């Protein structure tokens, strides 16, 4: 099978942040995006129109040029591109094919005089030669008027509570791998916390550690007020049985503070100080029923579930809130592994496919974050156990 390589220039000056992302998502459904430039804010060729956001992408596919061009026009139509007589008019999206297997397209040659259209191309293919034999970077330097093009920041930040171990750790590392800077919450300093932070930095992402004990009633929420946060994942929780609470009544209040009151404060501060963003609450599959041994724990998770729905209804579409309800993912802390191995056999005998693992939670969280059309939803991540 023949693989073709194309360079596509994407531009928008109507709802540009949204339309650039949607265009790339739609393009990635039919081709493989292998390289992307930074996003540049450039003046319109006709100064009467608003500034554009431009980005160049390199893609590979078995599709021939004629088929890819047709698909790109269909994507433009889905994003309500209207074509008129003015070639420089504002538009929701512009998808132009500039190179096909290292050969410049005719429309690209016609646009070479416009530095606004070359800045993103120079970022992604600076050493390509133009039809006149001049290297693109050198040509751009020759025609550039000295404008300072604004580079749009595309690095996002995720604040993940309880991120030093178990599910929280897996989420922190997964989103760092995906290109997010991380605000890593932990209840207290530990070697585990520093280890996660070091790994995130090795991945090339920034990591800020936020130590805060949620079992305390008062604490500083400045971390949410002073940093741009795109994603808040409430993962920190304690799992205390009703039997333990019967003997130590203060544990009920501690569990309430950590499992519900802290996420509530974080969420309210988040929506107050951020115009846009996404909240993912890690709940429990038992919110669909009950757990007679952990009634107080389930109550805190049910309250957080209802809070998420309330936030969604009040602040959508700018703030999204979704939830993941894991079943048995990891064994409880300080429990006999042999006991849970026996439980696993019992569960599998009840028509469940397997025991879950942190990869299941990670893939669900990334799915919810990436699909911005999902809001107010709950994913039961338990192999169907909540139906039994």
Distances in Å between the Cα of 225 and the Cα atoms of 105, 183, 221, 229, 308 are 48, 13, 7, 9, 20
Structure-block tokens of residue 291: 């757990």
- Bridge-based pairing state of the strands 103-104 and 94-100: antiparallel
User: Going edge to edge, which strands form the sheet with 157-160?
Assistant: 207-211, 181-186, 157-160, 231-234, 277-282, 319-326, 378-381
Tell me: the pLDDT tens digits for 121-170? Answer: 999 999 999 988 999 999 888 888 776 677 766 789 999 999 999 999 99
**C-alpha R_g of the chain:** 25
Q: How far apart are CA 217 and CA 184, in angstroms?
A: 20
Tell me: the pLDDT tens digits for 284-321? Answer: 999 988 888 889 999 999 999 999 999 999 999 999 99
Q: Which residues are CB-neighbours of 321 under 8 A, at least 6 positions away?
A: 267, 278, 279, 280, 281, 308, 309, 311, 312, 315, 375, 376
Q: Which residue is associated with the tokens 């191309």? A: 121
Q: How far apart are CA 283 and CA 291, in angstroms?
A: 14
Instruction: Give pLDDT, residue 152.
Output: 66
CA proximity to 380, closest of 289, 307, 310, 255: 289
pLDDT above 90: residue 198? yes
CA proximity to 370, closest of 178, 159, 168, 207: 178
Q: Which residues pair with 162 in a beta bridge?
A: none
Under the banding of pLDDT at 50, 70 and 90, the label for residue 387 is confident
Tell me: the pLDDT tens digits for 88-115? Answer: 889 999 999 999 999 999 888 878 888 8
């Amino acid at each position: 099978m023949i693989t073709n390589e194309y360079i596509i220039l994407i531009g928008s000056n109507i709802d540009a942040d949204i339309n650039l992302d949607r265009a790339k998502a739609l393009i990635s459904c039919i081709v493989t995006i292998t390289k992307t430039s930074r996003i540049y804010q450039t003046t319109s060729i006709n100064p009467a129109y608003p500034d554009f956001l431009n980005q160049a992408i390199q893609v590979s596919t078995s599709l021939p040029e004629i088929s890819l061009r047709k698909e790109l026009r269909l994507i433009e139509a889905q994003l309500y591109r209207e074509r008129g007589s003015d070639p420089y008019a504002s538009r929701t999206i512009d998808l132009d094919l500039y190179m096909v297997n290292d050969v410049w397209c005719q429309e690209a040659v016609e646009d070479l005089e416009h530095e606004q259209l070359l800045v993103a191309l120079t970022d992604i293919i600076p050493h390509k030669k133009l039809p006149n034999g001049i290297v693109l970077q050198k040509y751009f330097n020759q025609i550039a008027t000295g404008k300072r093009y604004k580079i749009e920041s595309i690095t996002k930040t995720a604040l993940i509570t309880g991120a030093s171990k178990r599910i929280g750790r897996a989420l922190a590392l997964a989103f760092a791998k995906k290109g997010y800077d991380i605000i890593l919450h932990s209840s207290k300093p530990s070697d585990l916390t520093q280890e996660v932070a070091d790994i995130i930095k090795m991945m090339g992402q920034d990591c800020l550690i936020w130590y805060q004990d949620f079992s305390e009633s008062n604490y500083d929420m400045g971390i949410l007020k002073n940093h741009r946060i795109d994603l808040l994942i409430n993962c920190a929780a304690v799992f205390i049985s009703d039997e333990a609470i019967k003997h130590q009544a203060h544990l009920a209040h501690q569990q309430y503070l950590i499992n519900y009151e802290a996420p509530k404060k974080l969420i309210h501060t988040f929506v107050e100080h951020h115009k846009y963003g996404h909240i993912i609450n890690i709940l429990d599959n038992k919110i669909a029923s009950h757990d007679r041994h952990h009634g107080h724990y389930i109550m805190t998770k049910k309250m957080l579930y209802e809070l998420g729905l309330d936030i969604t209804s009040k602040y959508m579409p700018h703030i999204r809130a979704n939830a993941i309800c894991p079943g048995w993912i990891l064994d409880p802390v300080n429990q006999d592994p042999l006991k849970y191995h026996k439980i696993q056999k019992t569960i599998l005998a009840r028509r469940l496919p397997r025991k879950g693992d942190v990869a299941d939670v990670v893939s669900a969280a990334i799915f919810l974050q990436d699909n911005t059309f999902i809001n107010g939803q709950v994913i039961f991540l338990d192999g169907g156990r909540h139906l039994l």
